[in-house]
Amino acid sequence: MIRAGIIGATGYAGGELVRLLLGHKDVEIKWYGSRSYIDQAYASVYQNMFRLVEDVCRDDDLAALADQVDVIFTATPQGFLASALNEDILSRAKVVDLSADFRIKDVAVYEKWYGIEHKSPQFLPEAVYGLCEINREAVKGARLVANPGCYPTCSVLSVYPLLKEGLIDPDTLIIDAKSGTSGAGRGAKTANLFCEVNENIKAYGVAGHRHTPEIEEQLSYAALMPVRISFTPHLVPMNRGILVTAYASLKEVRCPDGRDRLPSEEEVRAAYRKYYEKERFVRLLPPGVCPETRWVEGSNFVDVNFKIDPRTKRIIMMGAMDNLVKGAAGQAVQNMNLMFGEAEDEGLRMPPLFP
């Protein structure tokens, strides 16, 4: 059995980790860490765990936890793991971090966008960005995995094949994204009250959302050149889900007779198939079918598709996923499976919920 501990077990992502790990045949949860609920029964925080989890919440002592487990999940605010991690902890337990502390390789970029000092930059070179579909082999050998953010996961997977194959102009890339309210976390905030969110949609973090540099860094690796994007997230009145709609100009291809033309529908579809045809959790939809959040809710799937607009010579790339599963806890479990030699989809085979 893989012995697991969760720091931040009472946040939305932490709660989802508990739900998924309870259904994993080879995992035993040894520790439910929560600074806000120390010594309280976990099931009193999440009543859905009544008679399923008998443990009480503990503190966030990583050093003590590392003696008892094989893997630590940290579903914590930015800065926590970077301030607590050391070589002794990593020598005793592997870590999957759901915060942004080790996602961005450039310390200066991290500190600029998150407004805090990075306390352990010495671990950045070895931290593996845990987007399994792209970094699978590196994740297998990692002891520290930076679990990707929700917006970056959906954005990168929607766009990656076309950047990798050179079918779009990186300088024209615009990403519009919409998320349910659970993406903002469980903390009490006026902006997330029912009366503030219901019957409303709003943009936020315009031209300055913290996930922007993470998306740019990963897309730059795909394009083999610096990529700068316009990224605008929106809050919509639903519990779960992310929908990404990305736009870019297509690069024309040269025909044998010397003429230039746009890539065909089949050429673009072949690019997506090249990277995702064998992927368990990325589903390329049939032509004409747009991704919808309701068809991925509660699952680890990402649905992607595209539409070519010959009038503007642009392409619209679309993706939908559950922000708490593939965008957080599900992807963390997927990473753990790779790190411990488990089947990649173990504990994640549940179909999406509907309605």
Residues annotated as catalytic (active site), given as ranges: 150
What's the angle, vertex CA 305, arms to CA 301 and CA 310, rounded to 5?
170
Q: How many residues does the chain have?
A: 355
Looking at this protein, which amino acid is placed at residue 182? Answer: S
SS3 at position 103: coil
Q: Kindly list the distances between the CA atom of residue 295 and the CA atoms of 116, 187, 238, 243, 267, in Å, as whole numbers in the listed order.
A: 37, 27, 14, 11, 26
Two tokens, residue 330: 């599900």
Q: Residue 235: enclosing H or E segment and its boundaries? A: strand 230-235
- Phi (first) and psi of residue 216, to 5 degrees: -60, -40
Q: CB–CB of 296/352 below 8 Å?
A: yes
SS3 at position 120: coil
- Phi (first) and psi of residue 178, to 5 degrees: -135, 135
Two tokens, residue 279: 């992927």
